[in-house]
Structure 1
Amino acid sequence: MQDLWNTVSKYPRLVAGLMVGVILFALAPLAPLLKNPVTAVAVIGFFVAGFAFFTFTLRAMLGI
């Protein structure tokens, strides 16, 4: 029974590592764009606008 809980306790670390790896893999192609100031502003603006859109949409859907 101890082996079971030892194995189960490793899953959160596995999931966290998997999520970090996927995020790093997804953002790696954007790294060269951040070297040019014009494209860096555009990329950062895109992320800010996307986050704002996502936030406002959720607030409207949930009635917050």
Structure 2
Amino acid sequence: MQEFFQNVARYPTYMVALILGIFISVYDWLKPVFFKNKLTTTASIGFLASILAFFYFTLRAMLGLEAL
């Protein structure tokens, strides 16, 4: 039974390594695009910020959260 709990304890480490590997792969894939042209970088950051803002405000409205 102790072996089972040792295996279960390894899953968080595996999950962190998996997520970190995904982020590193995506960064390496997008690095030439972001650092090649300042206009592309600015437009991409603005696009990502607008997507995050859209989801933030949509979820706040759907969940009925009030302003603090």
Q: Place the TM-score, normalised by the shorter chain, in its bin.
A: 0.7 to 0.9
**In structure 2, C-alpha distance between the alignment counterparts of 1:61 and 1:45, rounded to whole Å:** 24
Unaligned runs of 5+ in 2: none
Unaligned runs of 5+ in 1: none
**In structure 2, C-alpha distance between the alignment counterparts of 1:47 and 1:27, rounded to whole Å:** 14
What number of residue pairs does the alignment pair up? 64
Post-superposition offset of 1:11: 0.5
User: Which residue is equivalent to 2:56?
Assistant: 55
Post-superposition offset of 1:27: 4.0
What fraction of aligned residue pairs are identical, expressed as a percent?
41
Cα root mean square deviation, aligned: 1.4
User: Which residue is equivalent to 1:26?
Assistant: 26
Larger RCO, structures 1/2 (Cα 8 Å, 6+ apart):
1
User: Which residue is equivalent to 1:6?
Assistant: 6
Post-superposition offset of 1:43: 0.6
**In structure 1, C-alpha distance between the alignment counterparts of 2:10 and 2:47, rounded to whole Å:** 36
Q: State the AA in 1 paired with 2:47.
A: F
